[in-house]
Every structure is written in structure tokens, then in C-alpha cells.
């Protein structure tokens, strides 16, 4: 090491792996492609690239490691700042905000650190159905424009933790 080498900037380690990141399935059920989500805002990708899962059980799990950034009082949605810069919105059901939290129970609070696969909330699928709402669990990459691509890689029935969306830098 030469004398001037001590003045050179050391490169910071990369915050995220160079390869694509995977956003996992956050519920057990059947994959619903973005265009088929029964809500125009999501189906048109207005909030970002997304997909849905028509749930077969009333549990929602963390699709990525990260920090909880939104927990509305209605408990029908959660925001997660994922490691590697991906921002996720999980929206449970269509128009379920009208239920004002009835049938939903959060297992996390604002600022909680979560790990992929951790139980985030529970929902009563019968109550959602009785209220006349589709129960589809919608997973949105809200900062889609920050990435080269957000691609659905799953179809058919999925288990929580299975690869769902591939996010490419």
C-alpha cells in the first residue's frame, strides 16, 4: 500500500444483492394476475406493479424482510419498507376499508422489524365475504419506477413464502 492509498475512498458494501430480489407470496391461495384484480386502481397498476392471491386461509405473512411503515386503524392494509429498497403495500381485500377493522387483527405495529414469512395479520374470510367484498390479498411494489422490472413469477396455487414477484434493479 502506497502513501497516497490512505486517501482513497473505500467503497461502501452494497446494501442489496446485485441479482433480482424476490417478493414472496404473503398468503396461501390462488395467484391473481394484476389485470384480473377486481379493483381498477390495482388492476391498472396505478399504485405500482402488483398481483393478488385469492386466500384459502385468513393469514397474511411478510413477503420480505423489512420494517412496517403503515398500519392503518382499519387493519386492512400494511406498508413495508423492504431491505434492498423495495416498498411494499399489502392490501387485504377490495373495499375492505369500509369494514373499519372488523374481522382483522394485526400482529405487528408501526416500526416493527419483520422477517419474510412472519405472520403480520389475520382476517376473517367469512366476515369479508358476508360484507360483500372480494378477499383477494394484493401485494404492490409501490416504488415500481425505481426498478428495471417487477415481474409476476408465480401462478396457480401458492404457499406463503413461495416466490411471487421478481424485482430487478
**CATH code at position 153:** 2.70.70.10
159 φ/ψ angles, rounded to the nearest 5 degrees: -105, 150
Percent of the chain with pLDDT over 70: 89
| In-domain check, residue 3 | no
Q: Looking at the DSSP assignment, which residues form a beta bridge with residue 61?
A: 119
Does 82 have pLDDT greater than 80? Answer: yes
Question: Which residue in 59, 76, 91, 133 is the catalytic one?
Answer: 91
Higher-confidence position of 7 and 144? 144
Establish whether 133 is a catalytic residue.
Answer: no
Give the structural domain span for 37: 18-168
Q: How many domains does the chain have?
A: 1
Percent of the chain with pLDDT over 90: 88
| In-domain check, residue 12 | no
CA separation for the pair 80, 37 (Å, rounded)? 21
User: For the residues 12-39, what does the mean pLDDT come to?
Assistant: 84
| In-domain check, residue 13 | no
Cβ contacts of 132 within 8 Å, gap of 6 or more? none
CA separation for the pair 59, 119 (Å, rounded)? 7
* pLDDT band (50, 70, 90) for residue 167: very high
Query: pLDDT tens digits, residue range 95-129?
Result: 999 999 999 999 999 999 999 999 999 999 999 99
| In-domain check, residue 93 | yes
Give me Rg for the CA atoms of the chain: 18
Whole-structure pTM value: 0.88
Cell of 39: 379493483
Q: What is the pLDDT of residue 13?
A: 41
Q: Looking at the DSSP assignment, which residues form a beta bridge with residue 23?
A: 165
Q: What is the pLDDT of residue 16?
A: 47
Amino acid at each position: 500500500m502506497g502513501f497516497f492509498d490512505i486517501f482513497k475512498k473505500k467503497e461502501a458494501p452494497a446494501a442489496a444483492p446485485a441479482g433480482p430480489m424476490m417478493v414472496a407470496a404473503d398468503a396461501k391461495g390462488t395467484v391473481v394476475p394484476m389485470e384480473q384484480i377486481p379493483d381498477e386502481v390495482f388492476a391498472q397498476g396505478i399504485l405500482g406493479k402488483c398481483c393478488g392471491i385469492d386466500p384459502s386461509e385468513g393469514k397474511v405473512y411478510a413477503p420480505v424482510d423489512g420494517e412496517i411503515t403503515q398500519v392503518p386503524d382499519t387493519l386492512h392494509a400494511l406498508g413495508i419498507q423492504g431491505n434492498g429498497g423495495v416498498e411494499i403495500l399489502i392490501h387485504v381485500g377490495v373495499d375492505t376499508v369500509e369494514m373499519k377493522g372488523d374481522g382483522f387483527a394485526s400482529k405487528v405495529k408501526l416500526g416493527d422489524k419483520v422477517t419474510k414469512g412472519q405472520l403480520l395479520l389475520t382476517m376473517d374470510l367469512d366476515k369479508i365475504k358476508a360484507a360483500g367484498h372480494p378477499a383477494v390479498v394484493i401485494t404492490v411494489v409501490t416504488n415500481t419506477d425505481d426498478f428495471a422490472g417487477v415481474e409476476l413469477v408465480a401462478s396457480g396455487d401458492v404457499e406463503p413464502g413461495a416466490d411471487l414477484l421478481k424485482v430487478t434493479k
